[in-house]
């Protein structure tokens, strides 16, 4: 059974800190790994990763995938209070038509 495990479950940091969120997975016929940010209600797409070692970057957020060790990390540098959210990791398998989600990491950034 496909599985996604995120850690830590929750995290509290101060503005300006750098955080690293982890996502490990087990999936048959891996196709892609996705990160979403869920503020309040609707998750919004951050990154899709398909190849090992290639960093995806968007402003202060970056993510990388290790297909050998079956994990991904999401880094946020110089955190701001607006980064407070639940960060969801999901994986997709070839031939599948759904995403398998992890439980999410709750990030709270204090001013």
Partner 1 sequence: DGGITQSPKYLFRKEGQNVTLSCEQNLNHDAMYWYRQDPGQGLRLIYYSQIVNDFQKGDIAEGYSVSREKKESFPLTVTSAQKNPTAFYLCASSTPGEWNEKLFFGSGTQLSVL
Q: How far is CA 22 from CA 28, 70, 96, 97, 111, in A?
A: 20, 11, 24, 24, 24
Of the listed pieces 12-20, 59-67, 71-79, 102-110, which binds partner 1 according to CB under 8 A? 102-110
| Contact status: 100 vs partner 1 (CB under 8 A) | yes
| Contact status: 44 vs partner 1 (CB under 8 A) | yes
Chain residues 13-42 in contact with partner 1, contact rule CB under 8 A: 31-32, 34, 40-42
| Contact status: 58 vs partner 1 (CB under 8 A) | no
| Contact status: 68 vs partner 1 (CB under 8 A) | no
d(CA 108, CA 98): 29
- Around Cβ 74, how many Cβ atoms within 10 Å? 24
d(CA 76, CA 30): 25
Question: Which positions touch partner 1 (CB under 8 A)?
Answer: 4, 6, 9, 31-32, 34, 40-45, 48, 88, 90, 92, 97-104
């Amino acid at each position: 059974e496909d599985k996604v495990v995120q850690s830590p479950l929750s995290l509290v940091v101060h503005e300006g800190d750098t955080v690293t969120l982890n996502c490990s997975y087990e999936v048959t016929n891996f196709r892609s790994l996705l990160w979403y940010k869920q503020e309040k209600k609707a998750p919004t797409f951050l990154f899709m990763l398909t190849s090992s070692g290639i960093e995806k970057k968007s402003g202060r957020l970056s993510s990388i995938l290790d297909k050998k060790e079956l994990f991904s990390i999401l880094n946020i540098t110089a955190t701001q209070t607006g980064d407070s959210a639940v960060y969801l990791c999901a994986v997709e398998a070839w031939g599948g038509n759904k995403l398998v989600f992890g439980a999410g990491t709750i990030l709270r950034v204090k001013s």
